Amino acid sequence: MTRIIADISVSLDGFVTGRDPGPDNGLGTGGEALHTWAFSDDPDDRRVLREGTARSGAVVLGRRLFDLVDGPDGWGDESGYGAGEVGKPAFFVVTSSPLSSVRLTDLDWTFVTTGLSDAVAAARERAEAASSASGHDLDVVLMGGGATIGSALDAGLVDVLSLHLAPVMLGAGTPLYTCGEPRTLAQRSVTSTTTATHLTYDVL
């Protein structure tokens, strides 16, 4: 069964970027510490990253995040989806206006201008088709940013919340979740390494 998984790194004080994120400073001041685990040699970190990439039948992201990953200082051979792990799922970008061209032409981009729910629905269809073709279940991964994941939680679109809790306090930045309705979660797994605590919750 295809699930909708929100997957994001977060600081101990609840931020998914540091202060003043922007086109030339995508993770904000100090925000690079959030993703140290993704480039770690720790076998548990590598396993978490590998399993997350392997389960991705389709990926949803917001326009601001797309502008960063497709920008001149964005993804490359060493820093693409999965930080070098094998896997190139279809990507769905929630945006008010599609682009006529992209830098990362080797990836499958779809721009959805009719809202997050439609993007998730289209991504689910693609993930289900990929599941049928591969013979095993693949999921839709919401990779961010924080506003996109918060909106998906508010809309009841998320089945699983996967957090990578980095041992850093940023003090300010982009919060993961601010003004939504209370949500009940069921903790399913915890994996601790020196660079992060990987937490998985079912969203009830």
Give per-residue pLDDT as tens, 147-175: 999 999 999 999 999 999 999 999 999 99
Bridge partner list, 94: 62, 112
* Residue-level pLDDT at 200: 98
Report cis status (omega within 30 of 0) of the bond before 145.
Answer: yes
- Asked whether the beta carbons of 65 and 151 are under 8 A apart, the reply is no
Q: Which residue segments constitute the domains of the chain, with CATH numbers given?
A: 31-112+126-155+170-203 (3.40.430.10)
Percent of the chain at pLDDT > 90 equals 70
2-27: pLDDT as tens digits = 999 999 999 999 999 999 888 778 88
Token pair 């949500």 is at which residue?
Answer: 183
Residue range 88-115: average pLDDT?
Answer: 91
Average pLDDT score over residue span 68-87: 71
Query: Shortest CA distance to 45 belongs to which of 37, 53, 33?
Result: 37
Q: How many residues does the chain have?
A: 204
pTM exceeds 0.85: yes
